[in-house]
Amino acid sequence: MATWQIILIVITVLLLAATIALYIVGKKSQKKKEEQDAQIAATAQTISMLIIDKKRMKLKDSGLPAAVIAQTPKIVRGSKMPIVKAKVGPKIMTFICEEEIFDRIPTKKEVKAVVSGLYITSVKGLRGSIEPIAKKKKLLDRLKEKAEAKTKK
């Protein structure tokens, strides 16, 4: 066998091994995520709250309790997370929000949120509905609108 064939076989075997390893790790993490979602759903409760502020900030700077920060992995502490400050009853509290619903949460409005501990999983508008997210226009669509506006003048 030529050396290029041996190198090609070795690279193919390594890629196959990496693919199998990623598949196994993905399955394990998917099971872990499903278990965590089940625990969150079991402890979820609906709370009425006034949203004061929402930001994406590092966990260290978020104002969450030290016990919560100590329990999180070190990699997550440095990454930016969706943080929501809300008034629940007479208390002002800091919550971690799910990434998917963070953009839909209105500020300076009262909402009903499904909360599990300090984690907001879903939000419903208390007075009226929550405004849908306005989709950003693509560059090509914006350029077409500008061109149409110029031709109409």
In the chain, domain spans: 40-125
Query: In whole angstroms, what is the distance from residue 80 CA to residue 4 CA?
Result: 46
Instruction: Answer for the pair 122, 130: CB distance below 8 angstroms, yes or no.
Output: no
* Nearest-10 Cα torsion for 109, 112, 114, 120: 0
pLDDT digits (tens, 9 = 90+) for 5-32: 999 999 999 999 999 999 999 999 999 9
Query: In whole angstroms, what is the distance from residue 88 CA to residue 113 CA?
Result: 11
Query: In whole angstroms, what is the distance from residue 131 CA to residue 127 CA?
Result: 12
146 torsion bin: left (phi>0), alpha (psi -120 to 50), beta (else) = alpha
Percent of the chain with pLDDT over 90: 54
Mean per-residue pLDDT, 81-91? 94
Mean per-residue pLDDT, 32-40? 92
Mean per-residue pLDDT, 79-88? 94
Question: What is the rounded average pLDDT for all residues in the chain?
Answer: 89
Q: Is the pLDDT of residue 130 over 80?
A: no
Least confident of 23-27, 102-106, 128-132, 144-148: 128-132
Q: What is the pLDDT of residue 148?
A: 87
Instruction: Answer for the pair 95, 115: CB distance below 8 angstroms, yes or no.
Output: yes
Query: In whole angstroms, what is the distance from residue 88 CA to residue 118 CA?
Result: 12
Confidence of residue 111 (pLDDT cuts 50, 70, 90): very high
CATH 2.40.50.660 fits 40-125, yes or no: yes
pTM (2 d.p.): 0.69
Q: What is the pLDDT of residue 30?
A: 97
Q: What is the pLDDT of residue 132?
A: 62
Q: What is the pLDDT of residue 96?
A: 93
